[in-house]
Structure 1
Amino acid sequence: MDSKRGQQGAAAGAAVLLLIIAGLMVLFIILLPPQERAELLDQNYTSGTSSGTRSSTVDKSVEVLLETSPGRIDYLAQREIEHPLPVVNIFTTTESKILAEKSVVSVKRAVFTDQTSEFRFPVADLPNTDDVLLSFNVESLVGELFVTLNGQELFRGSATGGAVEPIRVPKNMLTEDNTVVFSVSSPGLAFWRTNEAILQNVKVVGDVQNLDAQVSRNVFLVSETEKDNLEKVTLKFQPDCQYGQVGLLTVTVNGNEIYKAIPDCGLETVPIEFSSEIVNKGENRITFRAESGTYLLSHVVAESKLREVDFPTFYFEISHEDYLDVTSDRRRVRLRLDFVDVTADKEADVLVNGHINQFDTKEVSYTMDISDDIVRGNNAIKIKPKRTMEVRELKIELLK
C-alpha cells in the first residue's frame, strides 16, 4: 500500500516538473526576437518596411513583388490652354487748364516806395503738365515791367496797353509750389516820377495730361496642374493705334515687365513670349499701360504651352520559376491601388508591358489581375490617368 502511494507521488512530481519546463520553453520562445523566433518555428520573417523592392510576408500564400507610393499623377487633356482676356482700351488725353488766375495786379516804384505783387500758384501734377504760359492785359505801364518766377527772371520789358503775348514758362523753372513776383523799374534820376503798372486778367495756363484711362488691369487663372506642367506662356494681341501719335506701351505680368515698346500699329498680332517662372498658381494679374495716345487692343489672349506629361513607370521582377507557375495557372499576379480621395472618380489606363488595362472607380482602392500581361524577368507598369488623381500606394502581389 505504501509502495503504491510512493509511485503516485513520484508521477505527480514528474508531471509538475514537465509543466514547469514546458512553461519556461513557451516563455523563452515568446521573449525571442521576431527574426530568431521565425527561424526557430520555420517561418519567413519580414520587417514590415518596403521601399519598392521584392519582399516576403509571413503569409506564404502572398508574395509582394513591388510596393511603392506614386503620389499625385497629373492628367492633361491638351498641350495648349488659352486664357482669353477682354478688349483693352487705354488712352491719355491732354486738356488746357487754368492753373491760377488773379483779376488785378498793381505795382509801383518811386524814390521812397517799392511796391511789388506776389502771385502764387501750385502745379499738382508736375510730370504731366506741359506748355505752361503766363498771360495778362496791360491797363497802364510807366517804366519797365519785371516778372520773376521762383527767384529767376521770366520777363523784362515795356508793353503797350492791351493784351501781351503770352510768356512761355520753361518747365525746368517750375516746382509744385510756385511764386511769381511783379515789379517795375526805378525812376532813376527822375526822382519826382513814380513808375507803376496795373495788370488785369493775370492767368497761368498749362496742358495737363489726363491719365485716368492710361492703365488697364486684367486677371487670368492658372490651375495647379497647368502650373506644374507649364513650359512657356505667350501673350498675343492685335493693336489698333495711330503710329506717331502714341507713346510706349508697357505690359507687366504679376509686376514683372514683359514688354515696353511702340508696337507696329498695322500688325495682325503682337506675340510676347515670357517665362513660366513669373506665372502663379491661381490668380495672375496682367497690366497694360499707355505712355501717351490711344491704344485699342483686341484678340487679347494668354496661351500656355504645356510640356508632355511624363507618366510614372514602375518596375518589378518575375523569376523563371514564378513565371512558369503563373503561366500554368498555379499562381496569379495582382495589382492593388490605394487612393487618397474616397469619393472622386478615378479613371486611368494601366499599361503592363504595353498591354492596356482600364479602370473607372469611386472606391478608395482597386485591384486587377495582370497575370496574362507579365513576362519573365523585368516587368514595367505605367499609369496614365484620365483625370488627375493621387495614389497613396501601388502594390504588385504574387498569389497562390
Structure 2
Amino acid sequence: MKRAQSSASNVAVLVFLIAVFMALFVLLLPSEDRNELLNSNLDGDDDSSSETFLLTQSPGLLKPSSDDETIHKIDSVNLFLRDEPSVSDLATKLIVSRGVFSSNIRKLSFKAEDTENLEDINLFFTVEEGDGNIIITLNDVEVFVGQASGLQNIVLPKNLLQEVNTIKFEVSSPGINIFKSNEYTLRDVKVRQSFEIVNTKEKRRIVLSAAEKGNGKLNYRLFCNSAADISRLRIFLNGKELSDEVITCGSSEKEAEIDSNDLDEGENEFIFDIDKGDYLINDIELTVKSSEGGSINYKFAVSEDDFEDIKTRNKDVELDIQFSDDDEKKFVFEINNNEFTIDIKDNEYNQDNLGRFIEEGNNVFKITPQSEFNIDKLDLILK
C-alpha cells in the first residue's frame, strides 16, 4: 500500500515538473513564436469569420448623363493689357508775373492715384503770351525752366510724386530794369496720368465626374475689344500647355483637342493667358466623353476558394457605400447584370445577401446615377 502511494506521488511530481518545464519553455520562446503557438488553436476557425474586400473604390462625383458626352459651360474670360488715362483740370487761366519789387507765384495741387500701375504723368498747358523764362517745380523740385510758347507737354518724374502734389509756376526776374516785369498767361492747365491696367491671366475650374473618362475638346469664341498688335494666347490645363497660338484682332471660333490622360477626375483648372492686347473669350464649353448614362464600371475577381465559401454559404457578399451627405440619392447598381434600383436619403447604404449574384473568376459591378451625388467610399466585402 505504501509502495502504491509512493508511486502515485512520484507520478504527480513528474507531471508537475513537466508542466513547469513547458511553462518555462513557452516563456523563453521569442514573442512572435510564442504568440503563434498560443493562438494556433484559437485561429483554427478564422477563415469563416474573416473579411475579404473584393472591391474598394472612391468614385467621387456621380451625375446622370443623357448621352455619351457631357458639356460643361465655363464663365467668360476678359484678358487685357491697356493704358487708361486720367485727366485733372487744374486751371482754365493762370497768370504769373515778376518785377523788381513784386512777384505773382501760383501753386496748383493734384492727387496721384494708383502709383503702382502709373505708366507716365504729363503736365499740359497753352501759353497765350509770355516774357522771360517760366519756372515750374513739382513738390519743390525744378522740372522745367525756359521760354515757352504755344502748347506745352512736360513729362513729370514719377519718383517725385506724393499722395498730394504741388506744382508751382513762377517767372524769372527782369533784372535791373525797374520799369519792366516778366509775365506769362497760361490756359487749360491739366495733368494727365496714364495707367497700365493689367489682367493678362485668368483661371477657370470645372469638376469632372467619375464617368467622364474619355477624350475632350475645348470650344470658345474670341473677340477683340480694341485694335492692337498681334498677340499670343496660351491655354493651360492642369499646369500643362494645351494651346499656344498667335491671335489677331477680330472675331473667331476656336477649338482645342484634349487627351483623356490630361483630364483628372474631380477638379480641373484652365489658365488663359495673353502677352498684350484686349480680348474677350466667351461661349467657352468643355465637352468630355463619358459612359452611357453617366455610369461607372468596376471589374473584380473572385478566387476558387472564395467562390466555394459563397456557394456553400459559409460566407456572403455585402455592399457598403459611404456618401458625402445625407441628401436624396437615386441610382441603379448592377452585379453581373443583376439590377437594384435605389432611392435613399442617407449618408450610407448597405446591401447584404449579394453572394448569389457572384461568379467565380471575373465579375462586373456597375453603378448608374439618376441624381447627382458624391461617393466617398464603395466596398464589396466577402464576410
Asked whether 1:347 is paired with 2:332, we answer yes
**Partner of residue 318 from structure 2, selected from 333, 337, 345:** 337
Partner of 1:107: 97
C-alpha distance after superposition, 1:336-367 (max 9, x if no partner):
2233469844522324xxxx444334573142
1:48-59 aligned at under 5 Å gives the runs 55-57=47-49
Partner of 2:172: 185
- Judging changes above 3 Å, is the alpha-carbon distance between structure 1 residues 386 and 279 closer, same or farther for their aligned structure 2 residues? closer
The one-letter code matched in structure 1 to 2:128 is V
In our comparison, the structure showing a higher alpha carbon Rg is: 1
Partner of 1:25: none
- Judging changes above 3 Å, is the alpha-carbon distance between structure 1 residues 270 and 38 closer, same or farther for their aligned structure 2 residues? closer
How many residues are aligned here?
320
Q: Say if 2:74 and 2:284, in contact at 8 Å, map to a contact too.
A: yes
Matched-pair identity in %: 15
The one-letter code matched in structure 1 to 2:319 is D
- Looking at structure 1, the residues matched to 237 and 97 of structure 2 have their Cα atoms a distance apart, in angstroms, of 58
- Looking at structure 1, the residues matched to 147 and 378 of structure 2 have their Cα atoms a distance apart, in angstroms, of 90
Partner of 1:135: 125
- Looking at structure 1, the residues matched to 306 and 319 of structure 2 have their Cα atoms a distance apart, in angstroms, of 26
Give the CA deviation at 1:395.
1.8
- Judging changes above 3 Å, is the alpha-carbon distance between structure 1 residues 348 and 220 closer, same or farther for their aligned structure 2 residues? same
Give the CA deviation at 1:332.
6.2
Q: Say if 2:171 and 2:184, in contact at 8 Å, map to a contact too.
A: no
Partner of 1:5: none
Q: Say if 1:184 and 1:195, in contact at 8 Å, map to a contact too.
A: no
- Looking at structure 1, the residues matched to 86 and 240 of structure 2 have their Cα atoms a distance apart, in angstroms, of 35
Give the CA deviation at 1:258.
9.1
The one-letter code matched in structure 1 to 2:253 is E
Q: Say if 2:48 and 2:314, in contact at 8 Å, map to a contact too.
A: no
The one-letter code matched in structure 1 to 2:320 is F
C-alpha distance after superposition, 1:153-188 (max 9, x if no partner):
3241155xxxx2232425657635443332222333
Q: Say if 2:235 and 2:272, in contact at 8 Å, map to a contact too.
A: yes
Structure 2 residues without counterparts, runs of 5 or longer? 1-36, 344-348
The one-letter code matched in structure 1 to 2:190 is V
C-alpha distance after superposition, 1:84-124 (max 9, x if no partner):
135556776856733422643323142x6565333332332
- Looking at structure 2, the residues matched to 66 and 129 of structure 1 have their Cα atoms a distance apart, in angstroms, of 69
- Looking at structure 1, the residues matched to 277 and 193 of structure 2 have their Cα atoms a distance apart, in angstroms, of 13
- Looking at structure 2, the residues matched to 292 and 316 of structure 1 have their Cα atoms a distance apart, in angstroms, of 64
- Looking at structure 2, the residues matched to 178 and 392 of structure 1 have their Cα atoms a distance apart, in angstroms, of 71
Asked whether 1:238 is paired with 2:221, we answer yes
**What is the RMSD computed on CA atoms of the aligned residues?**
5.6
- Looking at structure 2, the residues matched to 393 and 264 of structure 1 have their Cα atoms a distance apart, in angstroms, of 56
Asked whether 1:83 is paired with 2:72, we answer yes
Give the CA deviation at 1:383.
1.7
The one-letter code matched in structure 2 to 1:380 is N
The one-letter code matched in structure 2 to 1:105 is I
- Judging changes above 3 Å, is the alpha-carbon distance between structure 1 residues 250 and 199 closer, same or farther for their aligned structure 2 residues? farther
Partner of 1:300: 284
C-alpha distance after superposition, 1:20-42 (max 9, x if no partner):
xxxxxxxxxxxxxxx99997xxx
The one-letter code matched in structure 2 to 1:56 is S
- Looking at structure 1, the residues matched to 86 and 40 of structure 2 have their Cα atoms a distance apart, in angstroms, of 98
Partner of 1:46: 45
The one-letter code matched in structure 2 to 1:196 is N
Give the CA deviation at 1:394.
1.8
Partner of 1:7: none
- Looking at structure 1, the residues matched to 39 and 165 of structure 2 have their Cα atoms a distance apart, in angstroms, of 99
Give the CA deviation at 1:197.
1.2
The one-letter code matched in structure 2 to 1:46 is D
TM-score, normalised relative to structure 1: 0.56
The one-letter code matched in structure 1 to 2:305 is I
Asked whether 1:386 is paired with 2:378, we answer no
1:113-152 aligned at under 5 Å gives the runs 116-126=105-115, 127-128=117-118, 132-138=122-128, 141-150=130-139, 151-152=141-142
- Looking at structure 1, the residues matched to 302 and 187 of structure 2 have their Cα atoms a distance apart, in angstroms, of 93
Structure 1 residues without counterparts, runs of 5 or longer? 1-34, 48-54, 58-63
Give the CA deviation at 1:203.
0.9
Q: Say if 1:333 and 1:369, in contact at 8 Å, map to a contact too.
A: no
TM-score, normalised relative to structure 2: 0.58
- Looking at structure 2, the residues matched to 230 and 319 of structure 1 have their Cα atoms a distance apart, in angstroms, of 32
- Looking at structure 2, the residues matched to 36 and 167 of structure 1 have their Cα atoms a distance apart, in angstroms, of 99
- Judging changes above 3 Å, is the alpha-carbon distance between structure 1 residues 332 and 272 closer, same or farther for their aligned structure 2 residues? closer
**Partner of residue 350 from structure 2, selected from 364, 382, 388:** 364
